[in-house]
Amino acid sequence: MARIIYVEDDELVGAVVQQVLSRAGHIVGVIHHGTLAFDTIAFKKPDLVILDQSLPGMQGSDILKALRRLPALYLTPILMLSARGGEAEIDDAMGAGANDYLVKPFEPDDLVQRVNDVLRNNNFRRESV
């Protein structure tokens, strides 16, 4: 079980992701505004952050870059979940420190698998540091 913060401005998509991951045994909070998300993530220090790219207040890529600059959150795994699926967007996100990138629309089983893989890989990385 992981504590996950999902940042998504579309309430329907947020509810679907929350339901899918909750059924997989995770605790998921959804935040709908980029600036509020950054402050909440910095305070709560979740086990995983899932970011949409297009958000009000602060874009997902900006949140990603800001989180990677914070020593307390540097190793927190981040999965980008966005409708922007171009090679440039994916390369930019991965280069900025995203652990994985999943394009919407997605299969629920694929989302669960990606989340579990990112969490597993991050636990290994934290233990080996």
Write down the domain spans for the chain: 3-128
Q: Quick one: which of 33, 39, 81 has its CA closest to 59?
A: 33
One-letter-per-residue 3-state SS of 3-37: EEEEECCCHHHHHHHHHHHHHCCCEEEEECCHHHH
Dist CA 34 CA 40 (whole Å): 10
Q: What is the pLDDT along the chain (129 residues), one digit of tens a residue?
A: 999 999 999 999 999 999 999 999 999 999 999 999 999 999 999 999 999 999 999 999 999 999 999 999 999 999 999 998 889 999 999 999 999 999 999 999 999 999 999 999 987 554 444
CATH class of segment(s) 3-128: alpha beta
DSSP secondary structure, 55-113, as one string: -SSS-HHHHHHHHHT-TTTTTS-EEEEES---HHHHHHHHHHT-SEEEESS--HHHHHH
CA-CA distances (angstroms) from residue 110 to 25, 50, 88, 96, 105?
15, 14, 22, 23, 11
Cα-based angle 46, 48, 52 (whole degrees, multiple of 5) = 110
Q: What's the token pair of residue 56?
A: 């009000």
**Amino acid letter, residue 46:** P
